Amino acid sequence: MTSTTPQTQARPRPLDHITVVSLEHAIAAPFCTRQLADLGARVIKVERPEVGDFARAYDNRARGEASHFVWVNRSKESLALDLKDPQHLAVLKQLIAKADVLVQNLAPGATGRMGLDAATLRAADPRLIVCDISGYGNDGPYRDKKAYDLLIQSEAGFLSITGTPEQPSKAGNSIADIAAGMYAYTNILSALMQRDKTGEGSHIDVSMLESLGEW
């Protein structure tokens, strides 16, 4: 006799057993973690109290909510923490201690000041996968500089192939953020596969400039 699975029972997904904590805002990191959530990962999005992710205020076209925010934040849990409050920071560290992956796209140097940099966290938990997303990466002369999508489109040369020399035109979507989010997502999947073989986590450093330059 062949048994069948009831239609109401959810199919298992590849990342059902994975927990991701994400210190994220805007598009790049949220786009990465949304895809992990689509594959079944439990994604805990950490936001600022009261205001939350500033992408919530981009517009109100999706039934009163920001369309960009809805697009990249489905299937996630949200937790409001004031990371300047020692008690809230302690809660975050407890969450990370139980997580498989930490993703962050905070301002350069922010995680280091809180003791949440990859070296510190992975010394305590070598199985942890840490993915940093920034404008220019964790080394090099621009490592401390903030960045945003249009600036990266310009610096990567993307604007040279849109519009005209007299009037360059940006891409209609946040293409630099999306490129970085895609590379972060695929690198995390690779790191999870490697950890299954070796038992060791990884530190992933994703640069928006290098990501869009590849395109």
Write out the catalytic residue numbers: 177
Closest CA to 75 of 154, 143, 13: 13
- For 131, the enclosing helix (H) or strand (E) is strand 129-134
Alpha-carbon gap, residue 85 to 69, rounded angstroms: 26
Q: What b/e string do you get for 142-170 counting C-beta neighbours within 10 Å, with b at 16 or more?
A: beeeebebeebbebbebbeeeeeeeeeeb
Alpha-carbon gap, residue 170 to 182, rounded angstroms: 19
Alpha-carbon gap, residue 45 to 20, rounded angstroms: 8
On whether the CB atoms of residues 57 and 29 are closer than 8 A, the answer is: no
On whether the CB atoms of residues 191 and 202 are closer than 8 A, the answer is: yes
